[in-house]
Amino acid sequence: MTAVHYAAFLFFPLVMAYAAVSDLLSMTISNKVSLLLVAGFLAIAPLTGMPLGAFGFHLAAGAIVLVGGFAFFAAGWIGGGDAKLAAAAALWLGFSHTLEFMVVAALFGGTLTIAVVRLRARWLPAFALRQQWLVRLHDPQSGVPYGLALTAAALVIYPKTAWVALAIG
């Protein structure tokens, strides 16, 4: 396996994991994370020999999810960082896995939302009050760190992708 294969195999899950942790701890996903995913895809995909048609379909999947994500953002259902992260994930997953990704993300997102609502119905113990991220997560005025659900869904789907097949040969 070449360095390109390792990069193709590891880059996406590592950046997605960073996005999840960032969202959990700060309730934000930096634009840099989504841009890094897009740049990584644009750099790695051609080096792996991805056919031009497949490359175009990956771009289209990302664009469609970006448009849908911003519609959800405009409705107040998700944050802007979540919309961009979902689009960047769809770019990596391509059309063949994007619908499944979105369904799994919705299921994980619903479960996460219920868990956060239940957490917010309880008092935080004293030790938790010293953890700013837990206080923020507990605040009913805060959103839900949906980047966790997007990352979990992406990592569930990722083993089915050509990236993994390429890496394990």
CA gap 105, 99 in Å, rounded: 10
CA gap 67, 151 in Å, rounded: 19
**Residue type at 137?**
L
Give the global pTM.
0.92
Under 8 Å between Cβ of 162 and 9:
no
Higher pLDDT among residues 10 and 61, named by residue: 61
CA atoms within 13 A of residue 11's CA, in its CB half-sphere: 24
Domain count, the chain: 1
Query: Is 24's pLDDT higher than 90?
Result: yes
The predicted-structure confidence for 52-101, as pLDDT tens digits, reads as follows: 999 999 999 999 999 999 999 999 888 999 999 999 999 999 999 999 99
Higher pLDDT among residues 25 and 166, named by residue: 25
User: Could you tell me which residues come within 8 angstroms of residue 38 by beta carbon, excluding any fewer than 6 positions away?
Assistant: 62, 88, 91
Residue 48, pLDDT score = 87
Domain assignment of residue 142, given as a range: 3-168
Q: What is the mean pLDDT of residues 105-131?
A: 92
